[in-house]
Amino acid sequence: MDKLLTISGSPHVHANESVKKIMYSVIYAMIPAMLVSLYFFGLDAARVIVVSVVACVLVEYLIQKYLIKGDLTINDGSAIVTGVLLAFNVPSNLPTWIIIVGAIISIGVAKMAFGGLGKNPFNPALVGRVFLLISFPVQMTSWPIPIPKFPTALTDAITGPTPLGILKEGLLANKSVTDIMAAPEMPTYINELIGFQGGSMGEISAIALILGAVFMFVRKVITWHIPVAYLGSAFAFAGIMWLVDPSYYANPLFHMVTGGLMLGVFFMATDMVSSPMSAKGMIIYGIGCGVITMVIRFWGGYPEGVSFAILIMNAFAPIINNSFKPARFGQVKVVKK
Amino acid sequence: MKTFKLGGVHPPENKFSSEAAIEVLPFPKRVFIPISQHLGTPATVVVKRGEEVKTGQLLAKSSGFISANIHSSVTGKIFKIDAVMDQSGFRRMAVIIDTKEDEWNEGIDTSDDIIREITLGKYEIIQRIADMGVVGLGGATFPTNVKMMVPDGKTAEYLIINGVECEPYLTSDHRLMMEKGEEMLIGIAILMKALGVKQAMIGIENNKPDAIEHLSKLVKNFKGITVHALKVKYPQGGEKQLIKALTGREVPSGKLPIETGCVVDNVGTAVAVYEAVQKNKPLIERVVTVTGKAAKKPSNFMVRVGTPITELIEKAGGLPENLGKVIGGGPMMGKALMSVEAPIVKGSSGILLVPENEAKRVTVQNCIRCGRCITVCPMGLEPYLITQEVIHQMYDKAEADKVMDCIECGSCQYTCPSGRPLLDYIRLGKSKVGQIIRSRGKN
């Protein structure tokens, strides 16, 4: 035979799966939330998303080309995911230059400095978000009030607080939860579920995020472990505190539909790179995220704790990986006959 | 429906040749019979150059506890005894025979009559199995007679018959169950007698409903044998996974299946045992599937051991234009062949012709820590972690993370979205850790 055969170790077949496919599945899953943000925040939302994505991809490209001088991997879609997530985590009226700073921190510091895709210990978009939140607290917390923009006004004018912000302010002013909930600026649960609430661009509509999450479940990009453990523990913790003192602690349902919980649970806590790998580990991690989120919401200085909770648990992921090994086959004692 | 719990994948089945009846392949002008076709010590050659041998005559005899007899698969004159490249790419000793007209050795029953009555006793059966060179035909080629000798202090409770054929593409066991069902069941009854067990379970994945139905009918005439349909999931044909699926028992880490009271044999082995015990016929031929996306005519052949693979490919439509890779065995665990001149041996279950566009591996990317390798590992290992430990030569850590438990099924690498060569590193780790463990024993 004059033709050379390929020699390689088994297995000789490969599942029809790749990093690119996973990343694009996440991007598709974010489309519903993206449409909601366009609906409520109009052209400003489009501006933030485009700037964030272009900046993230460009930063990764420049670092790979001129600093690392390695292979270009920008077409795997991971920088786009980070870009969209960063956009989702900021208000729609954020100045363009601040978004670019966020992208440089997200990709440059949180991802590429550690070695690029797969090497980052913390979720890049969250690092960027928290950096911006601490550095530009005013710009990062003046949320435009969501008003359907099409077909009339295309940009925002009025800003207002988020439901969690209203709650925190009220509690600091020694009002009871019942009074705070009855305040005119507090949206109803249904409105919060749909998206009529102040907040960062991508986090306002729980329904749109859940829709995207269902898609990721179907495509097997995420498993049930982290979302269920996260939501379950947050709900249980909020529920217990609510039963203890309903005048100081809000209804757990309120906590489920407000703030960045749904965005965090489905799109950021489940980030493969920075979360633990075994089923047991993922459940521990999810519970940790849920508890820390609620601790910050109840007793912390910030009204919202999702970003911090996930980043803190990201730091624990290696320890969790080491401590909670998967169930090995053959570790059972044999029943002697 | 029964299956094993931990891990597993479901690659496309692509059983192109499942309807192709077994064709007897005429033996070629020259055969190459390696003297090591089994797990263990190579056999010792008992014939000389120039000698005339008949079909079924002993060529090399078992040398050691774990070893097996090798018989001539053809009639002819020994051209020479020399090193020949085998399917693993190494040059190993083989008896090369120029063939003549087929003439079987005396005492071998070559008729098609089915002999149902089992006259031999337990030890005679085991001796006969050893004499006839029967080894496990599922791929590991462990000498069957050794498996039949239950160690002191252990008792065999179940005989598990592996008709799973979980490897994609391969259909040799499937065809054997369809065409030699009764012989197989008699073989199982013989094995049950040799082991002293009352129950035998045949596990078949439910992508072979015809085989399940066929054997379920036949099995009514046999006491203690049951047929079990299993959910399709790779690597169910691994003996530990099969025992788990059928009995719910787990073979302890580092131990043999007998710890759970089970002995596992392949369906092909059962047929070989039938032929050895009832017909006095040595293991000199087997069913081989020739298939793959590049195969012109996917087929199942009854092939004499020692036949060069080219003969099979020729009969299955010839070498395809777009051939990129030839695999001995299935796509998940088979070996890529360096040469299609290598001979068929006792453990060859299939020859897979892979087209060029599927021959190369995908591009390797960074691990994105998705954890899918953990999810699919049927042994509950962490392939990503073991891989890193092996890369950094942390063999003590790899040992603690149970690298030696790996059954090399390849599910991790199959499923890895980053296309990482996980199994390559794990194999390296197994060999290094194995060396360390052995050197520890010497001190």
Give the pLDDT score at B59: 95
Rounded average pLDDT over A76-92: 94
In a domain, residue B72? The reply is no
Q: Percent of chain A at pLDDT above 90?
A: 60
Residue B237 placed within a domain: yes
Kindly state whether A272 is in contact with chain B, defined as any CB-CB distance less than 8 angstroms: yes
- B415 contact residues in A (CB cutoff 8 A): 15, 17
For residue B360, which residues of chain A lie inside 8 Å, CB to CB? 6, 8
CATH code: domain of residue B183: 3.40.50.11540
Q: Are residues B436 and B317 in the same domain?
A: no
Residues B204 and B256 in one domain: yes
- Under the banding of pLDDT at 50, 70 and 90, the label for residue A192 is confident
Instruction: Looking at the structure, tell me whether residues B377 and B254 fall in a common domain.
Output: no
Same domain, B426 and B309: no
Q: Among all residues of chain A, which has the CA nearest to that of B368?
A: A118
Domain end among B360, B390, B411: B360
User: Does residue B161 belong to any structural domain of this protein?
Assistant: yes
The Cα–Cα gap between B291 and B17 comes to 7
Residue type, A272: M
What pTM does this model have? 0.91
- Report the range of poorest mean pLDDT among A141-155, A222-236, A308-322, B63-77: A141-155
Confidence of residue A185 (pLDDT cuts 50, 70, 90): confident
Phi, psi of A230 (to 5 degrees): -65, -55
Distance from CA of A116 to the nearest CA of B (A): 8
In three-state form (DSSP H/G/I as H, E/B as E, the rest C), the secondary structure along chain A is CCCCCCCCCCCCCCCCCCHHHHHHHHHHHCHHHHHHHHHHHCHHHHHHHHHHHHHHHHHHHHHHHHHHCCCCCHHHCHHHHHHHHHHHCCCCCCCHHHHHHHHHHHHHHHHHHHCCCCCCCCCHHHHHHHHHHHHCHHHHCCEECCCCCCCCCCCCCCEECCHHHHHHHHHHCCCCHHHHHHCCCCCCHHHHHHCCCCCCCCCCCHHHHHHHHHHHHHCCCCCCHHHHHHHHHHHHHHHHHHHHCCCCCCCHHHHHHCCCHHHHHHHHCCCCCCCCCCHHHHHHHHHHHHHHHHHHHHHCCCCCCHHHHHHHHHHHHHHHHHHCCCCCCCCCCCCCC
Joined tokens for residue B303: 């092939």
* Strand arrangement, sheet containing B199-205: B225-230, B199-205, B158-162, B262-266
Average pLDDT over residues A19-27: 95
Residues B303 and B434 in one domain: no
Better pLDDT: A229 or A179: A229
Cβ neighbours of A118 in B, within 8 Å: 365-369, 418
Same domain membership, residue B148 and residue B11: yes
Question: Cis link prior to A11 (omega < 30° from 0)?
Answer: yes
Q: Do A326 and B255 touch (CB under 8 A)?
A: no
B154 within a domain of the structure (yes/no): yes
B40, amino acid identity: G
**Of B286, B275, B302, B304, which is closest to residue B109 (Cα–Cα)?**
B275
- Tally of domains in chain B: 2
List pLDDT tens digits, range B148-179. Answer: 998 888 999 999 999 999 999 999 999 999 99
- Do B167 and B202 sit in the same domain of this protein? yes
Chain B hits for A76, Cβ within 8 Å: 365
Q: How confident is the model at residue A165 (pLDDT cuts 50, 70, 90)?
A: confident
Average pLDDT value over all residues in chain B: 93
**Cβ separation B418–A19 shorter than 8 A:** yes
A279 in B contact zone (CB under 8 Å):
yes
Instruction: Say yes or no for a CB contact (<8 Å) between A330 and B405.
Output: yes
Alpha-carbon gap, residue B101 to B106, rounded angstroms? 15
Q: Which of B90, B253, B368, B411 to mutate to test the interface with A (most CBs of A within 10 A)?
A: B368
Q: How confident is the model at residue A334 (pLDDT cuts 50, 70, 90)?
A: very low
Instruction: Express each pLDDT in A254-280 by its tens digit.
Output: 999 988 899 999 999 999 999 999 999
Beta partners for residue B327, in sequence order = B336, B352
- Same domain (yes/no): B319, B385: no
- Which chain B positions have a beta carbon within 8 Å of A276's beta carbon? 371
Q: Establish whether the linkage from the previous residue to A151 is cis, with ω within 30° of 0.
A: yes
Q: Give yes or no: residues B355 and B395 share one domain.
A: no
Structural domain contains residue B67: no
Least confident of A65-79, B225-239, B255-269: A65-79
Look at residue B99 and tell me if it is in a domain: no
Q: What is the pLDDT of residue A336?
A: 47
Percent of chain A with pLDDT over 70: 95
Is A337's pLDDT higher than 50? no
Range of the domain at B389: 372-442
Indicate if B354 and B381 belong to the same structural domain: no
A336 touches chain B (CB under 8 A): no
Record: contact A333-B252, CB cut-off 8 A: yes
- Per-residue model confidence (pLDDT) at position A88: 95
